[in-house]
Amino acid sequence: MSFLPSLESPQTIDVSLGPQHPSTHGVFRMNVTLDGETVTRLQPVFGYLHRNHEKIAEGNSWLAAMPYTDRLDYICPLTNNWAYALAVEKLAGIEVAERAEFIRVITAELTRLQNHVAFLGFVLGDMGAWGTALMYAFREREKILDLFESLTGARMMCNYMRFGGCRCDLPPGWLDTTRKLVDGFPKFLDEMEALLTGNEILLARLQGVAPMTADRAINGGMSGPVLRAAGVDYDIRKVDNYGIYNRFKFRVPRGTVGDCYDRFMIRVLEARESVGILKQAIAVIPEGPVVNPKAKQRGFRPPAGEAYGRIEGPKGELGFYLIADGSDKPYRFRIRPPSLINLTLLEELCVGTKIADVMVILGSIDIVLGEVDR
């Protein structure tokens, strides 16, 4: 943090928040102009974690881009895998094995659970409750990470999905463990809600802070929970019906005013819906191969063409825009990062609020820097 008298007016000061700041979720930076405590201008500065995903992917084979997608939004590796696999499957017209579709839904919903749980911990940390809520959240997250580890071999960097399916079948007993975890999960959410949602300080910090209208949210490209918190009924799982989501019953929670409280609660409600999807999927998962035997992984050469594939990631619409020129490398590999685009309206939301609210607003959008800067 640095404090400088602003050049524009002697009344205001410029504050540089980040890139080393405990609440910017990594190396995000904001140049804020303050009039007293009120924000009059806010300029986000990106690029401190620009790791050149797109350039590296364009220099390597199609399959070699898969482990890199893990490191995009490093809290949710499996949904990133799915988005890329989905785009490639569209590009090359590959069918996905039936069992793999179920495994994808199960892993993606587990990912959504642990992302939303971690979100609760982080946003509470941003509000000043550093530690306690995060400890509870990470306790639960660790259980899901254990499932990922026994399935894929890694806690965070799973590299699990393949074109036309998944890398390996579920280990024995995995479904039972998952069922136990899923059954116990609502209890944890109840506990978290009892701890948080009635809390007066939390309500004061969240309710009415930075509301967003539906029209602004759509024009600003918001997606995922942030869009739905503004009252828009748009869930790509329902709209695109990708994978096998049309076989499951679930509701799409929506907010009313799109303030920080709506953005906060929508995660809790979505986590509850995810629990429902998981229960349905675990009950009916069929036996069978986990990867389409016709799909080639190594030396994969899709026909020339292009495709844009997208999924409903935990943070929003995660899309991959791929151009193939018939060779073994992508000609263009573009990631549509929900975290970056959800920040488009950050300045609009923050101007007029107090400096202490900026962190809460940023936290309520839920960004991960690996995806913002790529």
Partner 1 sequence: MLDEDLRSDLQKRGIFVASFEDLYNWGRKSSLWPLQFGLACCAIEMIATAAARFDMARFGAEVFRPSPRQADLMIIAGTVTKKMAPLVVRLYNQMAEPKYVIAMGACAISGGPFKEGYNVLKGIDRYIPVDVAIPGCPPRPEALLEGLIKLQKKIEGQRLFGPNRARHADTRDAADYPVPSYGAHDLEPPMNPAVFKPEPSRREAE
Partner 2 sequence: MNDVLEAIRTALPQAIVELVNNPGPSAQHSLLVGRKDARAVAEFLRDSLGFDFCSNVSGVDWPPRKVKETVLNTEMVDGVEKEIKTTVERDVPGYLEAVYHLYSIRNKTGPVTLRVRTGDRDADVSVHSLTPVWKSADFQEREAFDLFGIRFDGHPDLRRILMWEEFADHPMRKDYMAPDDFEYEPTPHDKILAKVKARTEAA
∠367-165-322 over CA atoms, to 5°? 55
Length of the chain (residues): 374
Pick 110 or 369: Cβ nearer partner 1 = 369
**Both structure tokens of 230:** 């503004």
Q: How many residues of this chain interact with partner 1, rule: CB under 8 A? A: 33
Q: What's the count of helices (H) and strands (E) in the chain, helices before strands?
A: 15, 9
Give me the 70-89 binding string for partner 1, x by CB under 8 A, dash otherwise: -x--xx--------------
Percentages of the chain per state (helix, strand, coil), in multiples of 5: 45, 15, 40
Say whether residue 305 binds partner 2 (CB under 8 A).
yes
Amino acid identity of 278?
L
Q: Which of residues 262-321 bind partner 1 (CB under 8 A)?
A: none
Q: How many residues of this chain interact with partner 2, rule: CB under 8 A? A: 41
Q: Which of 104, 143, 272, 310 binds partner 2 (CB under 8 A)?
A: 310
* Cβ proximity of 155 and 353 under 8 Å: no
In this structure, what DSSP letter does residue 245 have? Answer: G
* Cβ proximity of 343 and 44 under 8 Å: yes
Residue 116 interaction partner, one of partner 1, partner 2, none, beta carbon < 5-8 Å per kind:
none
On the 0-12 / 13-18 / 19+ scale of CB atoms within 10 A, 100 is buried
**Binding piece for partner 2, criterion CB under 8 A, among 73-81, 164-172, 272-280, 330-338:** 330-338
Q: Which of 134, 269, 360, 362 binds partner 1 (CB under 8 A)?
A: 134
* Cβ proximity of 45 and 30 under 8 Å: yes
Give me the 73-112 binding string for partner 2, x by CB under 8 A, dash otherwise: -----------------xxxx-------------------
In this structure, what DSSP letter does residue 351 have? Answer: T
Amino acid identity of 305?
G
**Binding piece for partner 1, criterion CB under 8 A, among 43-51, 79-87, 94-102, 245-253:** 43-51
Q: Which of 65, 129, 307, 359 binds partner 2 (CB under 8 A)?
A: 307
Contacts to partner 2 by CB under 8 A? 46-47, 50, 52, 54-55, 90-93, 218-223, 232, 234, 239, 302-308, 310, 317, 319, 321, 323-324, 332, 334, 336, 340-341, 343-345, 373
